[in-house]
Amino acid sequence: MFKKRKVYLYLEILLLAIFLLINSFTALAEDVKDYGGVKFITISSGSGDWALIGGKVAEIINQGITGIVATATPGGGVVNLSRVQRGEAQMGLAHSAVTEFALNGIEPFEGKHDKIRTLMTLWKSFTHVVVPKNSGINSISDLVGKPYNVSLSKPGYAQHVIVKALLEASGITPEDIINAGGVTHIAGMDDETEMMRNRRLDFLLFQVVYPFSMIIDLNSGVGIKLIPIEGEVREKVLSLVPGLIKETIPAGTYNGQNQEIPTTAEFSQLICSSDLADDLVYDITKLLVENIPELQALSASLKSISENYAPMALGVELHPGARKYYLEQGMLKE
């Protein structure tokens, strides 16, 4: 009799365990939304702060949305847009300076990128034209006065687009620099910094927040000055790159910089594919806005990420899901 009771007790425990297990799976299933069959999200990011942002956005999505795995991959300001257009990535970091080019299929983009949408605008970046203090360069036109080593940045990066526009606005071509005995270089930010530090580069352009660590480092080592972008040259640059706006770098931003520097600026944006379901983009937008302090804490230069920038659509319209969230929160007006 005792053995039978023991067997019944074991059966009751087993049935209870099965019941609880079924209930837990049911509850879990109820928590998993169907976002149009999307199970994976690839975020095409970049280097430096972009790599930090890409990784943190993936982490926030993974922690906040059940049933979707987000992963950040390296990229660049131009290539990210094309990856989203082709469906190789569902989200990416972009520069407002080039998103309109992508939308309309203007060089360096091939074909109209009609699937890109803005999810969130993050922070403002300023055009820093950097030369060694003793280089003798005081304006862009001086680049053809002597043999100089000039970085054109790398194709696939917004800096490359802006350098080309700046040279064109100044009436200079890369061939003019070469004909003057100079050398043009295709290099990324790390290589550019190292080359200028070693006196093998006389000109570079960074599209970054201020004060920027690499520029501070160069200033303390080589000693640098910032070349202004102003007057007719700036107006021409703005017409060539509609995503840029007029700005200034305040006096005293860098050691020895005693005057404000007229320049241009643009915004780093998080873009996404129009193929993503509205409710998925809504939920991602909500998570990111609620976690802006985490994004700001990633680095000193990312403290400028602001809720005020978030709903700005520059060059590319907001995704309907993001727009819905911003409207509901009063962050955007109809």
Kindly tell me if the per-residue pLDDT of 203 is higher than 90. Answer: yes
Does 126-266 match 40-122+269-328 at the fold level? yes
Q: What is the DSSP string of 58-80?
A: HHHHHHHSTT-EEEEE---TTHH
Please give the single-letter amino acid code of residue 157.
Y
pTM of the model: 0.79
Q: Where are the alpha helices (DSSP H) in the chain?
A: 2-31, 49-64, 79-86, 96-104, 158-169, 174-179, 189-197, 213-221, 231-240, 278-290, 292-296, 320-328
Q: Which of left, alpha, beta for 116 (phi over 0: left; psi -120 to 50: alpha)?
A: beta
Q: How confident is the model at residue 7 (pLDDT cuts 50, 70, 90)?
A: very low
- Determine how many CB atoms are found less than 10 A away from the CB of residue 231: 9
Average pLDDT of the residues of the chain:
90
Q: 40-122+269-328 adopts what CATH topology?
A: D-Maltodextrin-Binding Protein; domain 2 (3.40.190)
Q: What's the confidence (pLDDT) of residue 28?
A: 43
Q: What's the confidence (pLDDT) of residue 18?
A: 52
pLDDT digits (tens, 9 = 90+) for 236-270: 999 999 889 999 999 999 999 999 999 999 999 99
Q: 126-266 adopts what CATH topology?
A: D-Maltodextrin-Binding Protein; domain 2 (3.40.190)
Show me where the domains of the chain are located: 40-122+269-328, 126-266
pLDDT digits (tens, 9 = 90+) for 72-103: 999 988 899 999 999 999 999 999 988 988 99
